[in-house]
Amino acid sequence: MSAPPIISGFTLAALVPYVLAAATAWLFWTRVVPHQLRGLQVAFETGEKRYEVHEVTSSIQDARDLLRSRGMQPGVATYIFALVGALLLFFEYVMIRLGLSEGYHTPSLSVALIFIALPALISTGTSLGAQVVKPIGQSRASLQNSSFGRSSKYVLLILIWILLVIGLYFALDDANVSLSRRFSICVFALMSPSILAYGRILGSSWQALRQSSRKIARGEPSPFHNHIPNARQQAVAQIVNLNLIVMPYVALNTLLSLLVLLYDQNLLLHSDRVLELPEYTLQTTFMEEGGILGFGLIELFSFIPVTGIREPLVQFVLLFLLLNVALIGFLFVYEVARILFLDVQDVSGKGGIKLADSRLLRAEPSQQAKVLNFCFTGFAGQSMLLLALGMITFWDSAALPQGANCGDWENKVCGVLEKDALEELTWMLASGGQIAFLTIWLKSRRIGLELEDITFDTTVGVDRARLSEMQDVIYLKQKPFTDLIANDQWSIALDRLDKIYEGHGKQLEGLTLARKTDAMMELYAGLGRWNEAEHEAVSLLALRGGREAQVARLVLCAASLSQRDYAEAKPRLGLLISDDIETARLQWAASLFNPKQRVLEPEFKALISIDSVMRRNIDLVQRYKNGIAQSELKYLDTPPGRIFLLSDIARMRLGGTPDKALNLLEQFIKSYEITEWTHGEVVRALLHIDAGRINTGVTLAEKLAASNPRHPHVRNLIGALARAGHTEMLASETTPIEWLNDSGLDWLDGWTMKHVVAPPPTFARKPLIQHAWNSNGWTAFNGSGSLAEAIKKKSNGWKVVQTSVAR
C-alpha cells in the first residue's frame, strides 16, 4: 500500500474535507464537549481527612455557560484549531481512500499543519507556565494575581524554552547527529513540558480516578458522584476504568522497552515467520511497534494463519500501544478537567499540578475558565499533535507521502518532515508521556492507597442549604455581624464568634462551618484586614450561596481594590448585582483607583449621585488634592458618617491640631446625644495624649479597657500605651483571629500583610513607609504642604512621608 501523493492546485474535492472537518468540529463542540463537561465538581478540605464536594456544572447549560464565559476564548480557539487540523488530515485521507480524491491537497495540508503546530506550541507554553510559575494562592496573601506581569512570565518562559531548544539543535548538529534525528529530538524537547504535565496530572490522580470509575462501572455511587449511575455513565466509566487498569502496564512496557533499546537495539529481532508476513514491514526500532509488548504480540499473532483475523488484531494492538497517550490525552481531556476541578491530586497522589485554589474554583467563574483553558490548551494541544502524528506514521507511515510523491513539497516540507523523523518523534512523544506518568504514579502509590480513609461529602451542600433555611429558628434571629460592627459593638460580635466556635453538635457541623466562615469574613472586612477577608469570602462562596454570596462577592471586590489588584477586581465587579448602591460605590472606587482603564457606567453614576456616602468620598478626594483635613459637609451620625468624622480627626492629628479635633469630636457627641461609642472614646483618649495630657488619656484608656476589653481599637490603644510604659498589657484574646498586639510574631513584618489599607503604627522601616503611601496617601499630610509635594512625586511620594514624620 503506497502513500497518496501531494497535489497542487485546487479541485472541488479539496473543499469536502474542510466542510466535513468544520461540521464535525462544530458538532463536537456544541454536542460532545458540553455533555462531557456536565457534572464538573470541586472538592476542598473542610477538616482532617474530610472533603466537601460541590457540583459546578449540574446541567449541559451550565457547561455551555462555562465554555462561553470570559477568559475561555483562548482555550476554545486552540482546541477547535487543533481539532480542525487533525480532522482535515483525516478527511483528506478518507477522501483518497474512497477514490474521491487523487491525493493530499497542498492548501489543506498547509492549513492542517498550522492548525496542529500552533496549538502544540501554545500547549508547551501553557504547560511550562503552569509548572514553573509559582502556583496561585501560595506565594502571596492575595489569592490571585491576574497581573500583566504573570502573563508576561509565560511568554518569556516559552521564548527562553524555544531558545534552549534551538541551542540543543545546534549542539546536536555539532555532534554530527542526522537531520531527521535532530528534528525529532528537538521537537520532543520542545514538547516536553506538555508531556511532563500529562504525566503529573494523570499519575497523581490515577488512584482517585480508578476508585471512582471502578465504583461507577459497578453501578455504585462513587466518592465524587453522589448518585446511582445510569447505564450510559456505567459504560463510560467502564471504558475509563479499563484504560486506567492498563495504563501502568503500558507505561512499564515503555520503560522496559527503552532500557532494552538503550542496551542493544538489535536485541529483539523478529522471527522469519513474522518477516514473511505480507502485511509486515521491518521497522527502524521495535519502539515503533509498541515496544516489547507490541513485539511479543506480533510474534504471537503471527501464528494465526487467517490474514483477515491476524491483520486487524495486530493493527489494533499496535494502534493502542502507540496511541495510548494521544487517545487518553484527547478523549480523556474531560476526565482531566474533572481531576483538575476536583483538585484531589494532593490526597490521591504526589507531584500533581495545582492550577487554582479549590475554593476559588467553586467561587469564581474566572478560575473555572482558567482550569478549562489549561485542559484545552496545555493538554489537548499536545495530544492532538500526537494523534495527528499517529495517523500519519501508523503502519510504517502508510499515509505519509515521501520522495517524489510530495510533488512541489519534495525538497521543502517533506525534506524536514521525513518518515524516520516523524516515526521517531511519535514514539518519543508517546514514551515520554508514559515515563512521566509511571514516575509520578509510582511516587503516588502510597498516598493514593490512603484515599479510602478520606470522607468525600457530596451531600453537605444540599444539607447546608436545607439547614440555612431554618437557621433563624435554630439560632434564634440574631443581628448580623455586619450590623454589630457597623454599630461599633465589637465585644458582642466577638462573644458571638466564640459561641459559633463552640459549635452546636455534629448534626449542624456543615452549617456551623459556614457560619464561622461568614463571621470571620465580616470581622476581617470590618477590621480592614482584606487578605484574610478575601480568603474567608472565597471559602464562604465555596460553601454556600444565598445572601452570604452577595456579601462575599462585595468583600472580594473590596479586597481586590484594597490590594490594588485592579485586574483581579474586574471580573469580580462583573459578578455583582448591578442595581445596588453598594455595588455602585465599589464601581466608582474601581474607576477612581484606575481611571485610565476603567469607565464608570452611567447607571452607576445615577445611583451614586444622591448618595451621602459618595458625597463624602468625593469631598475627601477633592480635599486630598488641596490638602484640607476637615470637611465642610455636615457630619452625620450614621455608621459611615462616624467613620468619616474620625478619619477627619486623624487628618487633623497629622496636621498637628489635636485640640481643634477634640472640640469637633465633643461637639459631635453632644449634638447627637451619643452616650456609648467606644471607637469615639478611643480617639478622644488619643487626642488628649496628642495634646500632652497623658494622664487623662491613659485614665480614659484604662476605663475603656475595663468596660470593653475585647474591642480591637481599645486593645490597640492599650497595647501602644503599654509598650510606652504607661499601663499594663491586656490579657491575650482567645478568638481565632490572630492579633498582632497579642501574637509573638514580628508585627512590623506582619503589618503589610494583614493591614493592607492602614498605615503602620510606626515608620521604622522603609517598606512600612512605602506601604503607608500606597495604603493611604494622607500619611504624607502634615498641614504644611507636604502632601502636595508627595502627590507631585507620584510613586516616590513615600520619600516625602519619610521626611514629614520627622516634623
* Residue of 363, 541, 683, 704 that binds another protein (CB under 8 A): 683
Nearest one of 627, 679, 674 to 652, comparing CA atoms: 627
Does position 709 bind another protein by CB under 8 A?
Answer: no
Give 637: exposed, middle or buried? Use CB within 10 Å, 0-12, 13-18, 19+.
Answer: middle
How far is it, in rounded angstroms, from Cα 440 to Cα 349? 8
Q: For residues 375 and 340, is the Cβ–Cβ distance under 8 A?
A: yes
* Residue of 558, 662, 698, 700 that binds another protein (CB under 8 A): 558
Which x/- pattern over 468-487 shows residues binding another protein (rule: CB under 8 A)? ------------xxxx-xx-
Footprint on residues 652-671 left by another protein (CB under 8 A): 653-654
Does position 679 bind another protein by CB under 8 A?
Answer: yes
* Residue of 394, 760, 783, 786 that binds another protein (CB under 8 A): 760
* Residue of 252, 319, 720, 737 that binds another protein (CB under 8 A): 720
Find the part of the chain contacting another protein (CB under 8 A) among 24-32, 62-70, 240-248, 548-556: 548-556
Does position 232 bind another protein by CB under 8 A?
Answer: no
Does position 684 bind another protein by CB under 8 A?
Answer: no
* Sequence-separated (6 or more) residues with CB below 8 Å from residue 255: 434, 435, 438
Q: In this structure, what C-alpha cell is assigned to residue 199?
A: 504525566
Residue 268 or residue 720: which is nearer to another protein going by CB? 720
Which residue in the block uniquely carries the three cell numbers 516523524?
422
Residue 105 or residue 585: which is nearer to another protein going by CB? 585
Does position 756 bind another protein by CB under 8 A?
Answer: yes
How far is it, in rounded angstroms, from Cα 505 to Cα 699? 44
* Residue of 713, 742, 752, 783 that binds another protein (CB under 8 A): 713
How far is it, in rounded angstroms, from Cα 188 to Cα 713? 61
* Residue of 88, 386, 399, 620 that binds another protein (CB under 8 A): 620
Does position 629 bind another protein by CB under 8 A?
Answer: no
* Residue of 535, 570, 651, 710 that binds another protein (CB under 8 A): 651
Does position 372 bind another protein by CB under 8 A?
Answer: no
Does position 625 bind another protein by CB under 8 A?
Answer: yes
Which residue in the block uniquely carries the three cell numbers 483607583?
593
Q: For residues 88 and 104, is the Cβ–Cβ distance under 8 A?
A: no
The residue type of 383 is S
Find the part of the chain contacting another protein (CB under 8 A) among 236-244, 266-274, 286-294, 776-784: 776-784
Least Å distance, CB 711 to another protein, is 10
Count of other CB atoms within 10 angstroms of residue 119: 28
Angle between helices 581-593 and 547-562 (to 10 degrees): 20
Q: For residues 208 and 339, is the Cβ–Cβ distance under 8 A?
A: yes
How far is it, in rounded angstroms, from Cα 749 to Cα 127? 35
* Residue of 315, 609, 732, 743 that binds another protein (CB under 8 A): 609
Q: For residues 420 and 180, is the Cβ–Cβ distance under 8 A?
A: yes
DSSP line for 208-271: HHHHHHHHHHTT--BTTB-S---HHHHHHHHHHHHHHHHHHHHHHHHHHHHHHHHH-TTS----
Find the part of the chain contacting another protein (CB under 8 A) among 16-24, 99-107, 123-131, 640-648: 640-648
How far is it, in rounded angstroms, from Cα 611 to Cα 585? 9
Residue 121 or residue 589: which is nearer to another protein going by CB? 589
Residue 520 or residue 650: which is nearer to another protein going by CB? 650
Least Å distance, CB 434 to another protein, is 52
Which x/- pattern over 118-137 shows residues binding another protein (rule: CB under 8 A)? --------------------
Least Å distance, CB 796 to another protein, is 9
Q: How many residues bind another protein (CB under 8 A)?
A: 92
Least Å distance, CB 562 to another protein, is 5
Angle at 557 between CA 592 and CA 644, to 5 degrees: 60
Footprint on residues 158-217 left by another protein (CB under 8 A): none
* Residue of 512, 780, 783, 786 that binds another protein (CB under 8 A): 780
Residue 443 or residue 564: which is nearer to another protein going by CB? 564
How far is it, in rounded angstroms, from Cα 807 to Cα 798? 15
Footprint on residues 294-313 left by another protein (CB under 8 A): none
How far is it, in rounded angstroms, from Cα 805 to Cα 807? 5
How far is it, in rounded angstroms, from Cα 520 to Cα 205? 33
Q: In this structure, what C-alpha cell is assigned to residue 474?
A: 435554630
Which residue in the block uniquely carries the three cell numbers 509548572?
131
3-state secondary structure of 686: helix
How far is it, in rounded angstroms, from Cα 330 to Cα 337? 12
Does position 464 bind another protein by CB under 8 A?
Answer: no
* Residue of 640, 691, 709, 737 that binds another protein (CB under 8 A): 640
Count of other CB atoms within 10 angstroms of residue 324: 24
Find the part of the chain contacting another protein (CB under 8 A) among 64-72, 138-146, 338-346, 619-627: 619-627
Distances (CA, A) of 654 to 679, 755, 782, 783: 18, 19, 5, 7
Does position 2 bind another protein by CB under 8 A?
Answer: no
Q: In this structure, what C-alpha cell is assigned to residue 592?
A: 477612581
Least Å distance, CB 365 to another protein, is 21
Give the burial string for 712-736 (b: 16+ CB within 10 Å, else e): bbbbbbbbbbbeeebbeebeebebe
Does position 526 bind another protein by CB under 8 A?
Answer: yes
* Residue of 270, 616, 710, 754 that binds another protein (CB under 8 A): 616
Runs of H (alpha helix) within 15-105 = 15-27, 33-36, 60-68, 73-97
Find the part of the chain contacting another protein (CB under 8 A) among 63-71, 293-301, 520-528, 728-736: 520-528
Least Å distance, CB 632 to another protein, is 15
Does position 528 bind another protein by CB under 8 A?
Answer: yes
Least Å distance, CB 618 to another protein, is 5
Least Å distance, CB 660 to another protein, is 14
Least Å distance, CB 646 to another protein, is 4
Walk across the sheet containing 455-457 and list its strands: 41-47, 50-55, 455-457
Does position 613 bind another protein by CB under 8 A?
Answer: yes
**CA dihedral (73, 162, 387, 418) positive or negative:** positive
* Residue of 690, 705, 710, 752 that binds another protein (CB under 8 A): 690
Strand partners of residue 7: 105
Q: In this structure, what C-alpha cell is assigned to residue 801?
A: 512621608
Does position 605 bind another protein by CB under 8 A?
Answer: yes
* Residue of 69, 630, 647, 803 that binds another protein (CB under 8 A): 647
Residue 187 or residue 689: which is nearer to another protein going by CB? 689
Nearest one of 517, 512, 417 to 460, comparing CA atoms: 512
Footprint on residues 564-603 left by another protein (CB under 8 A): 564, 582, 585-586, 588-589, 591-593, 595-596, 599-600
Least Å distance, CB 699 to another protein, is 15
Does position 806 bind another protein by CB under 8 A?
Answer: yes
Q: For residues 780 and 769, is the Cβ–Cβ distance under 8 A?
A: no
Q: Which H or E run contains 456?
A: strand 455-457
Residue 473 or residue 806: which is nearer to another protein going by CB? 806
Residue 145 or residue 550: which is nearer to another protein going by CB? 550
Find the part of the chain contacting another protein (CB under 8 A) among 36-44, 135-143, 521-529, 727-735: 521-529
* Residue of 22, 413, 618, 737 that binds another protein (CB under 8 A): 618
Does position 635 bind another protein by CB under 8 A?
Answer: no
Residue 382 or residue 741: which is nearer to another protein going by CB? 741
